[in-house]
Amino acid sequence: MEPSIRRFHASDRACGEHARELAVGDRAFRFEGLSADQAAALERFWGPYFTPDSGLPVDRTIRVSDGGPGFWLAEPQAGELYRIEPRVTPSGVIALSYAFALGPGPDGSWRLALDTEAVEPAPQSLENATRVMAARMAVERGGFAMHSAGVLRDGKAWLFTGPSGAGKSTAMRLSAPAVSLGDDFGLVLPSPDGWVTPPLPFDNAHAITERPEGSSFPVAGIWKLFKADEPRVERLTGLAAVTSLSTCSALSWVMPDLAGAMLEQIGRFCEESHFGHLHFGLDADFWGPLSAAAGGLD
């Protein structure tokens, strides 16, 4: 057995005695074993999403443990992209990063073991691991996770996706004063009335102060961003749509056991809802062409 996996299974000492719940749509993640400092820092990160009692059904419990000092993966090299790698084990898939290991616990809960001397602050490790957990939950519920920003307009969620630098933050700025649903990471889930997305506290500012009313909102469409001089919308369908949207999925490589299901669910979204490419500039008003395109697809 790989040393890091042995270490993970042996990491059963809690970091502290505090418990909190994170609202993720109509469900909650319950964190147990947080230290006082960790709980306080996550309250600053996630604001009103993170409370002692969310009042929501608990989707899963995450027990935070002290994994002792030392990297879970090899020390990062200069210029290296942030790594999270899966390890397939008899007990399930364990996600390893520099400062944390996340996987199934022995009692049906999940264990999040932290490197107690990591350069990465513990709250950042906790958020990164929680994104992995949220992505897994989305696929298990018939949806998927994306690198995306979302805004609420006229009661519907408009989601902007693309790699880093594609313009998600710019699209958010040009959408003001629309309510933000998160600027970096999003979930798309099926519902009896169509596809929905929940508001999430995963924001690059790490200082959430407001939470929209409602556990989820109908998706008006997903729009992959491209920079251009003039705004225009390009509608994609079929295999081209699935291929394009799947490149924007988040953390798919960390869930090899769910990869096939996730791809099928992206395909179902492309069949049933709106997806396209939005070409826009740094200052152009793209909402006219975008609204016209979405309206013409109903």
What is the SS3 assignment for 223-285? EEEEECCCCEEEECCHHHHHHHHHCCECCHHHCCCCHHHHHHHHHHHHHHCCEEEEEECCCCC
Q: Does one domain contain both 121 and 185? A: no
- pLDDT, tens digit only, all 298 positions of the chain: 789 999 999 999 999 999 999 999 999 999 999 999 999 999 999 999 999 999 999 999 999 999 999 889 887 777 777 899 999 999 999 999 999 999 999 889 999 999 988 888 999 999 999 999 999 999 999 999 999 999 998 899 999 998 887 788 888 888 888 888 888 899 999 999 999 999 999 877 777 778 888 889 999 999 999 988 888 899 898 999 999 999 999 999 999 999 999 999 999 999 999 999 999 877 667 888 888 877 644 4
Q: Does one domain contain both 67 and 208? A: no
CB 224 within 8 A of CB 161: yes
The number of distinct structural domains making up the chain is: 2
Q: What range defines the domain where residue 222 resides?
A: 144-295
> Domain boundary residue among 140, 168, 194?
140
Q: Does one domain contain both 128 and 162? A: no
Q: Does one domain contain both 125 and 224? A: no
Angle at which helices 122-140 and 259-272 cross, to 10°: 70
pLDDT of residue 76: 75
Q: Does one domain contain both 91 and 113? A: yes
Q: Does one domain contain both 176 and 277? A: yes
Q: Does one domain contain both 215 and 227? A: yes
pLDDT of residue 244: 97
pLDDT of residue 163: 83
CATH assignment of the domain containing 175:
3.40.50
CB 195 within 8 A of CB 245: no
Q: Show Cβ contacts of residue 243 under 8 Å, excluding neighbours closer than 6 positions.
A: none
> Domain boundary residue among 82, 116, 140?
140
- The answer for 174, left when phi > 0, alpha when psi is -120 to 50, beta otherwise, is alpha
Q: Does one domain contain both 163 and 122? A: no
Q: Does one domain contain both 149 and 284? A: yes
> Domain boundary residue among 112, 140, 168?
140
